Homo-oligomer: A and B are copies of this chain.
Amino acid sequence: MMCGRQFTEDESQLLQEIIINRRDVRGNRFLSTPLDEADIEKILLAAVNAPSVGFSQPWEFVVIQDENTKNIIKDSFQQKNNQASNHFSTEKQALYQRLKLEGITDAPINIAVFYKPSTQPVLGQTAMPEMGQYSVVCAVQNMWLMARSLNIGMGWVSILDPHCVKKAVNAPKPHQLIAYLCLGYVDAFLPQPELEQLQWEKRKQLNSVVMNEKYVDC
């Protein structure tokens, strides 16, 4: 007999539903209703139960409610977002400028997630040093799913200057910003990712991204 908790088919099916119904939530959806402390703790507990290379747990979380801090970070978003739209074709630029791409001041809670490099060698990180950052990303994905299961929306804002965030929360020099997250209740979880719905990008078919044994020379 196998040791450890056995999950049923229904339970696995439920996980699939949580995964499929998870959305990246932006400012046009967030409600200002405060989040329950107990729910924030559940989300953070999901984070720290993520896998980490060599059990190094190299993550730190700054929970932000202060309007001042949010405004500083929103400024950084605006600056980077103005630069960003130039990267796209004229056709896409018009759509880009209509998109609401963050919910920094709309969401009641922001969480800045940092990677804290170890001062000692870490088991499993000697050949692939990026495993430290990847461990922190696993924690973020756990947070995302846990938030969704609590009917709380989460958005990941990547259009900003990581150094500006570090400065705003007084992060130690060696720390690296991995994710800037906005969390709050929402008026709706969209049935599809917004960028799919707006046809910014098409969904890829599973068989187009899965190879059997090897890539075929083309």
- Please give the residue numbers on chain A whose beta carbons come within 8 Å of chain B beta carbons, in ascending order: 2-7, 11-12, 14-24, 41-42, 44-46, 48-51, 53-57, 59-66, 69, 80, 83-84, 87-88, 96, 99, 101, 121, 123-128, 130-131, 133-134, 137-138, 140-142, 144-146, 148-151, 156, 158-162, 169-172, 178-179, 185-191, 193, 195-196, 200-201, 203-204, 206, 209-217
With A127-B80, A144-B51, A200-B54 as contacts: A206 and B7 at CB distance below 8 Å: no
Chain B residues near A189 (CB, 8 Å)? 2-5
Other-chain residue from B88, B156, B186, B213 in contact with A2 (beta carbon distance below 8 A): B186
With A16-B45, A22-B51, A213-B69 as contacts: A126 and B80 at CB distance below 8 Å: yes
